[in-house]
A and B are shown apart, each in its own frame.
Chain A
Amino acid sequence: MTERPGEAGAALSQPDGVDGAPLSQPDGVDGAPLPDGLPRDASRRLAALEDRPGHKGMFTSDLSVNEFLLIKEVGFHPLGFVMGSSIYHLGIQTRKWSQSQELSKLTEAMYQARELAMDRMDAEATELGADGVVGVRLDVNYYEWGSDTAEFIAVGTAVKSEDGRSYRNRHGKPFTSDLSGQDFWILMQTGHVPLGLVMGTCVYHIAHRGIGQTLRSTGRNVELPNFTQALYEARELAMTRMQDEANELGATGIVGVRLEEKSHMWGDHTIEFLSLGTAVARQEGDHTIPQPKTIISLDG
């Protein structure tokens, strides 16, 4: 991010309403873990993937052939398709019609449910002895039978480096990354290693406008400061949280950041801002990136 309009112009003062109550980071999965960590069936499935005396293991992967070849190209071997999921009941929070505010309870729920899913995926990868998980996808499913419930899923392909070097991050956990095989290959060419998937989320209620405001802006070209501020603030919160996660991993940067806005099931004025990216760090040593060849295809 290069320029913040809030700082550049006087039109938009930094909103200060929400700073008062910073969101506490949900600390891990302590809330409600599955009774015995990974389900037994999961361990059994993963055990069947590993090489043991008298048993030839195999790998599974949802990577396409291109991605598979590129992962091999940078010296990694896929180990297995790993996943984690959590069905979560989202709490209720009252929102004031005319007030823009973060809904911390819902934010916490979105955080915690995703963390639960990702931690389980991590646990599966750790069980396989992986160095990392690539091509991670985070999805949210809703089922007809569950009101206020959603299923959070994380899936990816666990990989291990073939030269025996460990790529685990500073917490001793396999790195996670939502980069595709292609992006992963390019990233490694530039001398960076992924550290982990980082995210920040913020569920925000955007105030409705009053009659007076509506009338005053009718037929005129004006900025609507309260909407602008609310959306701006929510995005900033989400991105700041993502950056905090990356700092905590000792990252030098975040690549492939996506900012998603979803209303899920909360109606028009309540939006979740989710920013997701892969935290990366520079490796020692010189890396020269080969000069790319320019091509023009004939089928354009």
Chain B
Amino acid sequence: MTLRDEVRQAVAAVGSPAPHAGGAGGAKGTTSDLTIDETLLLHSAGWEPVDLVYGISWWSIPWGVWQWTTGEVQEASTAFTGAVDHAAKQLRQSCEQSGGSGVLGVEVGVRVSSHHVSIELTGTAVRRTGADSHRFEFVSDLSARDFVLLTRAGWWPLGLAAGASFVIAPRRTAREWAAQQGQNVELPNLTQALYLARERAMERMQQSGTALKAEGIVAVKLREGRASSSARVIQFVAIGTGVHLRTSAHRTVSPELVVPLDEQVRAFDVKGLRRAPAGRRSGGGPERT
């Protein structure tokens, strides 16, 4: 079989609906990246995994936006929002096709280069055991364990809420730079630029939560780091799961205090100071005399 045939076959397999769609029988094959424990827990809560599903989207960023602007790069943020929406839509389609009614444990891959944003969502589609029809309900990056806990307390996931902002850190003028040498001072311009960028990412996440009609967003992860090839371009990405209360009130979970007896006892911890400040040099050789 040639490579082309193989690829064609794979594409056909992915495109066709899963064989167990809609059926109640659990005997047919399922694919999931859940662990045994998680699968068991999910079953105990009346859910079962169906299939591994994904949504991928690439959005282009116009040329030149990184070079000629300062402050926020609006085009990149727009591309990000578009890509997330599109990938989530694909994920939903993929889930419905496989006969699931929700997606759990979604891994969010975000890649930003100078000319495009790519979003990859991979998760496990799940459905209620024994139900005949499967209405699409949620997408969430929570683990199966978190999902079970959350639903036990009356809260349900709705979807992924995400927001991003990209900012080009402003430069200091030569005069500012010179005035700051040797001083303890805050740099207000830079502080403000990065502060605002972070706030905007979170604000956009909130807006996307509001669009989901969520009452809250839990497990928010704020990722930050340099984007594109320039060190001055910094990206802030905030992602969480939008949740709402389905019952009339929050149900308490009443935890119990336990002491695990199988924990390893750490009697004495020998640690190497990373940069070996002093004592380490005591050994013998006069290294720096």
Contact = CB atoms under 8 A, between A and B. Distances in A.
Contacts of A34: 188, 191-192, 195
B256 A296 contact: no
A61 B149 CA distance: 17
Contact of B216 (A59, A214, A300): A59
Interface in A264-283: 268-269, 271
Nearest to B142: A65
Nearest to B284: A218
A290 B258 CA distance: 10
B254 interface: yes
Contact of B149 (A32, A65, A218, A300): A65
Interface residues of A, number: 85
Interface in A249-265: 261, 263
Interface string B167-178: 001000000000
Given A39-B192, A42-B195, A211-B286, A155 B184 contact: no
A53 interface: no
Contact of B186 (A86, A209, A292): A86
A297 B260 contact: yes
Nearest to B209: A58
Interface string B263-289: 000000000011111110110101011
B253 A41 contact: no
Contact of A206 (B153, B210, B216, B278): B278
B210 to A, nearest CB: 7
A48 B206 contact: yes
Contacts of A227: 278-279, 282
Contacts of B190: 87, 146, 149
Contacts of B257: 186, 189, 289-293
Contacts of B222: 62, 81, 155
Interface in B145-161: 146, 149-150, 153
Interface in B194-226: 194-196, 198-200, 202-203, 205-207, 209-210, 214-222, 224, 226
A68 interface: yes
Contacts of B260: 294-297
Given A34-B188, A58-B214, A92 B182 contact: yes
20 contacts: A31-B185, A41-B196, A41-B203, A58-B214, A60-B206, A64-B146, A65-B149, A69-B150, A72-B252, A86-B186, A89-B185, A105-B184, A116-B186, A145-B169, A208-B288, A210-B289, A211-B289, A218-B286, A231-B278, A297-B262
Interface of B: 142, 146, 149-150, 153, 169, 180-188, 190-192, 194-196, 198-200, 202-203, 205-207, 209-210, 214-222, 224, 226, 231-232, 234, 240, 250, 252-262, 273-279, 281-282, 284, 286, 288-289
